[in-house]
């Protein structure tokens, strides 16, 4: 029996985290992934990058991306036992924006207190990802012992 999870639960988990793996495709059709730091606002994911970064250039030519967020699992008082991470994965439509095109609260959250002048902001682009379809989860909203049975630890819910 699949995990019983809601879209709101998934969004709450996404809002608690800040690291994910972003997947995208090059113009030659080659898959690529990169670790990113993100923030969430109004059910959109925002990522900073350089305007000249590969990911910004590739996403500008193909907006179809995927994002995977890992959630560390531990057994209380027995930290040396390795537990697979829980995950949230989804597909999204991405767009690349200049820093001045996004709300100031997004830049503040992404830069985490780093103050930048107008010239420095020109060196920053922001990737906005709008999740589409469904969230696929593993181990989210379930007890650790349930994760031993993948069919019970998996979840699927509309974005």
pLDDT value at position 1? 64
- What pLDDT does 147 receive? 87
What confidence score (pLDDT) does residue 83 get?
80
pLDDT of residue 113: 74
What's 119's DSSP letter? H
Instruction: Count Cβ atoms below 10 Å from residue 106 Cβ, excluding itself.
Output: 21
**Residue 36 has what pLDDT?**
97
**What does the pLDDT profile of the chain (159 residues) look like in tens digits?**
677 899 999 999 999 999 999 999 999 999 999 999 999 999 999 999 999 999 999 999 999 999 999 998 887 777 787 788 999 999 999 999 998 899 888 988 888 877 777 777 778 999 999 999 999 999 999 988 888 888 999 999 999
Phi, then psi, of 158 in degrees rounded to 5: -60, 145
Beta bridge partners of 132: 91
- Domains of the chain (ranges plus CATH)? 7-158 (2.30.110.10)
Number of other CB atoms surrounding residue 44 within 10 Å: 16
- For 1-69, the DSSP string reads ------HHHHHHHHHH--EEEEEEE-TTS-EEEEEEEEEEETTEEEEEE-TTSHHHHHHHH--EEEEEE
What whole-number distance in Å separates Cα of residue 56 and Cα of residue 61? 9
| DSSP tag of 107 | H
């Amino acid at each position: 029996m699949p995990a019983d999870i809601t879209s709101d639960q998934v969004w709450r988990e996404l809002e608690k985290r800040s690291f994910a793996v972003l997947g995208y495709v090059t113009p030659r059709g080659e898959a690529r992934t990169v670790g990113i730091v993100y923030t969430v606002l109004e059910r959109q994911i925002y990522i900073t990058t350089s305007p000249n970064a590969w990911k910004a250039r590739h996403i500008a030519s193909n907006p179809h991306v995927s994002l995977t967020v890992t959630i560390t699992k531990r057994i209380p008082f027995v930290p040396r036992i390795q537990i697979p991470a829980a995950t949230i994965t989804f597909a999204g439509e991405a767009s690349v924006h200049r820093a001045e095109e996004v709300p100031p609260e997004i830049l503040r959250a992404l830069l985490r207190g780093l103050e930048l002048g107008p010239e420095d902001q020109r060196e920053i682009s922001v990737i906005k990802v709008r999740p589409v379809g469904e969230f696929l989860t593993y181990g989210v909203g379930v007890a650790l012992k349930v994760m031993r049975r993948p069919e019970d630890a998996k979840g699927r819910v509309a974005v």
